[in-house]
C-alpha cells in the first residue's frame, strides 16, 4: 500500500518536474521577452514623442492639412498616434515572440495565423479608418450644405450620411476578411435598395411640379426670376 | 467692322488683328438681355474718347446658350440713333470667343488678358456684361488714367444702395484696407482698367486654376496691384446698376470663393501686410455726383433664423475656428429674443473674420468646410447691419462702414498675434485644456490686443 502511494507520488513529482523542466524555461523566457518588449516599447514611445515634439511634427501635420484630412474634428495629435502605434507594434511583436518560445504546436499555429492574418487585418483596419474619415468629411459637408440651404434637421442629414458611409466601409472590410460575408452583403443590398427606392419616390414626388414646368418650357423664365428674399445675396 | 465668331482658337483670331492700343473685355454667361447695351456703351466710349487709337472689344463667354455671343457680334451702335461727333480713325474690332478651362469669371478674364498681351495693348479694361448703368464715360474713366497718367490699375468707385455690396462693405473692403493700407473702396467691383505691365504680371502667375478662375479674380487682381507696388487709382463711375448674378449659382460658394481668395492672398503677402500700419487714400478720378439707386429687399427674419439654427448645428465646427471668447459672444447673440435688439457689433465681427483667417492658415479644419461655415455668421452680420441702418441715409451708412474699417485697423495686432500662433487658443482647444486633456499654456493676448 505504502509502496503504491510512494509510486504515485513519485510519478506525480516526476511529471511535475518534467513539466517544470519542459515549460518553465520557455515561460520564463516568454516573461523575460514580454518584459523586455514592454520596456523597449515604453522607451520607443517616450523617444518618439520627444523626437516628434522636437521637430514640431504636429504643427507640420496641421499645416500640411494631413491632420484635418485624417480627423476633420482637428483633435488628432500626430505625435501621439505615431508613438502609440510604435508602442503597440513592439508589444505585439514581443507577444508573438514570447508565444513562439513555447515551441508547441498550438503556439506555433497561433503565431503562424497571426502572421498570415496580419496584412489582411491591417488592410481591413485601413479600410475602416478610411471609411471613418470619409464619413466624417461627407457628414460635415452635408451638415454645412443643409444648414446653408435651410434644410430641416441638418444634424440628422449629416448623421444619415455618416452612417451610410461607415456602413459601406464595414461591409467592404468584412468582405475583405471573409467575415460573415453573406450576412453583410444581404444587409447592404437591402438597406441600399430601400434607400434608393425611398429617395427615388421622394425625388419623384417632390420634383413632379418642377419637371412639369421644365417640360412646359418655363425653365428660362424661372431662372431669371430671383425671389425677393434672395436678392441681397445676388450682390457682392 | 464686326468679326464673326472664330473657328480657330481665340488667340489665333486675335493675331489676325495683329495689334491694338486698347482692349476692352466683357466676360459673359447668359447675358443676352443686357450685353448689347454694354457693347454699345463701350463702342460709343471708344469712338468719343479714343478715336485716334486702335481698339478691340473682346467678349469672353462661358458657353451661353441664350444668344449672348450673337448679341455681342450683331449689336450696332447706329441702332441707338446716337449722334457721334467724332469718328474713329481705325475700325473697332469685335471678337466673341468662348474660353476654356474652369467655368468662371476668372477664366474669362484670363482669356481677355491673353488677347491683350498678344495684341500688345497699352491699356486693357474689363466691364461686367450685366451692367445697366454703364455709359461711354466709363471707358474714358477706366482707360485714360492708364494711357495718359501712368497708372497700372484703375479700380471702380460707385454709388451703391446701402444694402448692395455687403461682402465688399463688411469683409473685403475693410479687410483689404486694414491689411495693405490702401483705401480701395470697391476692390471686387468687377470693372477695372489695367496697364500692359500689370496684365503681363497677372499672366505670369501660376494660380489661375484656384478660386481665381471663379469669383476670386477681382480681389486677386486688386491685391496683386496693391502689394506688388503697381500704381493704383480709382475712377468714379456713378451708379452700379446690374442684373442679379446667375440665380442658379450657389451663393454660399461665391462667398467662399471671394473670402477664400482673400485668406489665401493673406498668406502669400504676409510680409507685406504685417508691416503696414493704418491706411491711406487712393487717387480718385471722375466727377462725383449723387444718383438714384435700385431698392433692395432684405429678409432679416430669414437671415436671423438661419443664424440661430446654425448656432445649434455648427457649434462644433465654429469651436475649431473661433477663439473661446469670440464663440461665447456669438452664442450669446443667438439667445437674444428681440429681433430689433439684435446687434453683431463691429469688434466681434472683426474678431470673427480674423479668427477665420487664422484658422484658414492653420488648417484648423478643411478649408472648404471652414469657409462654408462662415455663411450663417455673415448673414447675421448683414442682418445686424440692416437693422442698424434701416433709417439711415447713404452718408451715415458710409460713416458706419468707416467705423468698421477703423475697427479692422485697430484690431490688426490681434490678427498678427493669432497669425503667429501666440494668441489665445480656439474654443475647442480651450475646452480640452479645461478638461485636462492637454497641458501647457499660452498667454492670453486678447486684452492686450484690445488695449493696443
**Residues of A whose CB is below 8 A from B305:** 150
**Residues of B whose CB is below 8 A from A226:** 244, 247
Residue B164, φ and ψ in degrees, nearest 5: -95, 150
Q: What is the pLDDT of residues A132-144, one digit of tens each?
A: 889 989 999 999 9
Tell me the CB-side half-sphere exposure of residue B384, using CA atoms within 13 A.
21
With bands split at pLDDT 50, 70 and 90, how would you rate the model's confidence at B246?
very low
Structural domain span for residue A40: 1-103
Domains held by chain A: number: 1
What per-residue confidence (pLDDT) applies to A140?
A: 92
B254/A contact by beta carbon, under 8 A: yes
* In-domain check, residue A178: no
Cβ-Cβ contacts under 8 Å for A23 (sequence gap 6 or more): A102
* In-domain check, residue A145: no
Tell me the CB-side half-sphere exposure of residue A108, using CA atoms within 13 A.
3
Q: Please answer yes or no on whether A232 and B296 come within 8 Å at the CB atom.
A: yes
pLDDT at B63 over 50: yes
* In-domain check, residue A1: yes
What per-residue confidence (pLDDT) applies to B89?
A: 64
With bands split at pLDDT 50, 70 and 90, how would you rate the model's confidence at A213?
low
* In-domain check, residue A130: no
Please state the rounded mean pLDDT for residues A150-172.
Answer: 91
ipTM: 0.82
Q: What is the pLDDT of residues A5-57, one digit of tens each?
A: 888 998 899 888 888 888 888 888 899 999 999 999 999 999 988 888 887 77
What is the three-class DSSP state of B182?
A: strand
* In-domain check, residue A39: yes
Q: Which residue of A has its CA nearest to B160?
A: A235
Q: Please answer yes or no on whether A231 and B296 come within 8 Å at the CB atom.
A: yes
Q: What is the pLDDT of residues B305-338, one digit of tens each?
A: 999 999 999 998 999 899 999 999 999 998 876 7
B60/A contact by beta carbon, under 8 A: no
More confident residue, B248 or B178: B178
What percent of chain B shows pLDDT beyond 70?
Answer: 85
In this structure, of A12-26, A215-229, B36-50, the range with the lowest mean pLDDT score is A215-229
| Alpha carbon A78 to chain centroid, angstroms | 16
Please state the rounded mean pLDDT for residues B358-380.
Answer: 92
Which of B128, B83, B91 minimizes the C-alpha distance to B17?
A: B91
Residue B17 to chain A, least CA–CA distance (Å): 36
What per-residue confidence (pLDDT) applies to B242?
A: 77
Residue B165, φ and ψ in degrees, nearest 5: 70, 45
CA separation for the pair B8, A53 (Å, rounded)? 58
Residue B183, φ and ψ in degrees, nearest 5: -90, 75
Which of A135, A145, A216 minimizes the C-alpha distance to B251?
A: A145
**Residues of B whose CB is below 8 A from A228:** 297, 299
What per-residue confidence (pLDDT) applies to A203?
A: 76
Q: Which residues of A touch B (CB under 8 A)?
A: 62-65, 67-69, 72-75, 137, 140-141, 143-148, 150, 154-155, 220, 223-226, 228-236
Domains and their CATH numbers in chain B: 10-285 (3.90.550.10), 300-451 (no CATH)
What is the three-class DSSP state of B140?
A: helix
In the numeric block, which cell numbers belong to residue B152?
Answer: 497700372
CA separation for the pair B30, B303 (Å, rounded)? 29
* In-domain check, residue A15: yes
More confident residue, A55 or B120: B120
**Option in A75, A146, A236 nearest B167 (CB):** A236
* In-domain check, residue A58: yes
**Option in A69, A74, A226 nearest B428 (CB):** A74
Q: Please answer yes or no on whether A147 and B306 come within 8 Å at the CB atom.
A: yes
Query: What average pLDDT does the structure give for chain B?
Result: 85
CB atoms within 10 A of CB B82: 13
Residue with cell 493669432: B418
More confident residue, B142 or A177: B142
What per-residue confidence (pLDDT) applies to B82?
A: 55
In this structure, of A211-225, B40-54, B112-126, B231-245, the range with the lowest mean pLDDT score is A211-225
What per-residue confidence (pLDDT) applies to B222?
A: 96
B116/A contact by beta carbon, under 8 A: no
* In-domain check, residue A43: yes
Q: Please answer yes or no on whether A62 and B309 come within 8 Å at the CB atom.
A: no
B322/A contact by beta carbon, under 8 A: no
Residue B441 to chain A, least CA–CA distance (Å): 16
More confident residue, B430 or B306: B306
Q: Please answer yes or no on whether B245 and A220 come within 8 Å at the CB atom.
A: no
In the numeric block, which cell numbers belong to residue B261?
Answer: 481668395
Q: What is the pLDDT of residues A56-98, one digit of tens each?
A: 777 777 766 566 666 656 667 788 888 998 999 999 889 988 8
Query: What average pLDDT does the structure give for chain A?
Result: 81
Which of B59, B226, B216 minimizes the C-alpha distance to B127?
A: B59
What per-residue confidence (pLDDT) applies to A228?
A: 40
Q: What is the pLDDT of residues B276-310, one digit of tens each?
A: 999 999 999 988 777 777 777 788 898 899 999 99
In eight-state DSSP terms, residue B131 is B
Q: What is the pLDDT of residues B387-416, one digit of tens each?
A: 999 888 888 999 999 999 999 999 999 999
Amino acid at each position: 500500500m505504502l509502496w503504491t502511494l510512494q509510486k504515485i507520488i513519485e510519478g506525480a513529482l516526476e511529471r511535475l518536474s518534467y513539466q517544470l523542466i519542459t515549460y518553465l524555461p520557455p515561460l520564463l523566457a516568454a516573461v523575460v521577452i514580454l518584459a523586455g518588449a514592454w520596456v523597449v516599447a515604453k522607451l520607443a514611445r517616450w523617444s518618439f514623442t520627444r523626437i516628434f515634439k522636437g521637430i514640431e511634427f504636429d504643427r507640420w501635420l496641421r499645416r500640411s492639412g494631413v491632420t484635418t484630412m485624417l480627423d476633420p474634428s482637428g483633435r488628432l495629435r500626430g505625435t501621439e498616434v505615431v508613438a502609440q502605434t510604435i508602442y503597440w507594434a513592439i508589444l505585439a511583436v514581443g507577444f508573438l515572440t514570447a508565444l513562439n518560445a513555447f515551441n508547441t504546436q498550438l503556439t506555433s499555429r497561433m503565431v503562424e495565423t497571426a502572421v498570415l492574418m496580419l496584412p489582411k487585418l491591417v488592410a481591413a483596419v485601413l479600410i475602416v479608418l478610411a471609411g471613418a474619415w470619409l464619413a466624417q468629411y461627407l457628414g460635415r459637408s452635408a451638415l454645412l450644405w443643409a444648414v446653408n440651404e435651410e434644410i430641416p434637421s441638418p444634424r440628422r442629414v449629416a448623421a444619415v450620411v455618416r452612417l451610410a458611409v461607415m456602413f459601406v466601409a464595414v461591409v467592404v472590410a468584412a468582405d475583405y476578411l471573409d467575415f460573415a460575408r453573406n450576412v453583410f452583403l444581404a444587409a447592404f443590398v437591402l438597406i441600399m435598395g430601400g434607400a434608393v427606392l425611398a429617395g427615388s419616390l421622394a425625388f419623384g414626388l417632390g420634383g413632379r411640379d418642377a419637371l412639369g414646368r421644365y417640360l412646359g418650357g418655363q425653365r428660362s423664365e424661372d431662372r431669371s426670376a430671383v425671389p425677393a428674399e434672395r436678392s441681397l445675396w445676388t450682390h457682392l | 467692322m464686326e468679326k464673326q465668331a472664330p473657328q480657330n482658337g481665340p488667340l489665333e483670331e486675335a493675331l489676325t488683328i495683329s495689334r491694338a492700343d486698347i482692349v476692352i473685355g466683357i466676360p459673359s454667361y447668359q447675358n443676352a438681355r443686357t450685353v448689347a447695351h454694354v457693347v454699345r456703351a463701350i463702342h460709343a466710349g471708344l469712338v468719343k474718347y479714343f478715336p485716334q487709337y486702335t481698339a478691340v472689344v473682346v467678349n469672353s463667354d462661358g458657353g451661353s446658350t441664350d444668344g449672348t455671343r450673337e448679341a455681342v457680334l450683331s449689336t450696332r451702335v447706329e441702332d441707338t440713333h446716337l449722334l457721334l461727333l467724332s469718328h474713329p480713325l481705325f475700325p473697332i474690332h469685335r471678337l466673341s470667343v468662348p474660353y476654356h478651362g474652369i467655368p468662371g469669371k476668372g477664366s474669362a478674364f484670363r482669356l481677355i488678358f491673353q488677347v491683350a498681351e498678344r495684341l500688345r495693348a497699352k491699356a486693357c479694361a474689363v466691364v461686367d456684361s450685366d451692367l445697366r448703368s454703364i455709359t461711354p464715360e466709363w471707358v474714358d474713366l477706366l482707360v485714360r488714367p492708364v494711357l495718359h497718367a501712368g497708372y497700372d490699375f484703375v479700380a471702380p468707385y460707385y454709388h451703391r444702395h446701402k444694402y448692395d455690396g455687403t461682402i465688399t462693405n463688411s469683409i473685403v473692403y475693410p479687410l483689404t484696407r486694414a491689411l495693405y493700407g490702401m483705401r480701395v473702396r470697391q476692390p471686387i467691383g468687377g470693372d477695372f482698367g489695367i496697364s500692359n505691365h500689370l496684365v503681363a504680371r497677372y499672366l505670369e502667375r501660376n494660380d489661375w486654376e484656384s478660386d481665381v478662375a471663379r469669383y476670386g479674380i477681382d480681389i486677386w487682381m486688386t491685391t496683386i496691384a496693391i502689394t506688388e507696388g503697381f500704381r493704383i487709382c480709382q475712377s468714379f463711375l456713378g451708379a452700379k446698376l446690374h442684373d442679379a448674378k446667375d440665380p442658379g449659382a450657389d451663393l454660399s460658394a461665391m462667398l467662399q470663393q471671394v473670402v477664400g481668395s482673400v485668406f489665401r492672398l493673406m498668406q502669400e503677402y504676409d510680409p507685406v501686410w504685417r508691416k503696414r500700419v493704418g491706411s491711406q487714400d487712393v487717387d480718385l478720378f471722375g466727377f462725383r455726383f449723387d444718383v438714384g439707386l435700385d431698392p433692395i429687399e432684405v429678409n432679416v427674419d430669414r437671415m436671423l433664423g438661419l443664424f440661430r439654427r446654425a448656432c445649434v448645428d455648427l457649434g462644433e465646427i465654429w469651436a475649431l475656428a473661433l477663439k473661446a471668447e469670440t464663440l461665447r459672444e456669438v452664442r450669446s447673440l443667438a439667445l437674444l429674443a428681440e429681433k430689433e435688439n439684435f446687434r453683431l457689433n463691429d469688434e466681434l465681427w472683426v474678431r470673427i473674420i480674423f479668427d477665420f483667417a487664422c484658422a484658414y492658415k492653420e488648417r484648423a479644419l478643411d478649408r472648404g468646410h471652414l469657409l462654408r461655415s462662415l455663411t450663417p455668421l455673415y448673414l447675421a452680420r448683414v442682418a445686424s447691419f440692416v437693422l442698424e441702418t434701416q433709417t439711415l441715409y447713404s452718408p451715415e451708412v458710409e460713416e458706419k462702414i468707416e467705423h468698421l474699417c477703423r475697427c479692422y485697423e485697430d484690431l490688426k495686432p490681434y490678427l498678427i498675434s493669432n497669425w503667429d500662433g501666440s494668441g489665445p487658443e480656439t474654443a475647442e482647444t480651450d475646452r480640452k485644456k479645461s478638461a485636462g486633456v492637454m497641458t501647457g499654456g499660452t498667454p492670453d493676448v486678447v486684452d492686450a490686443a484690445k488695449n493696443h
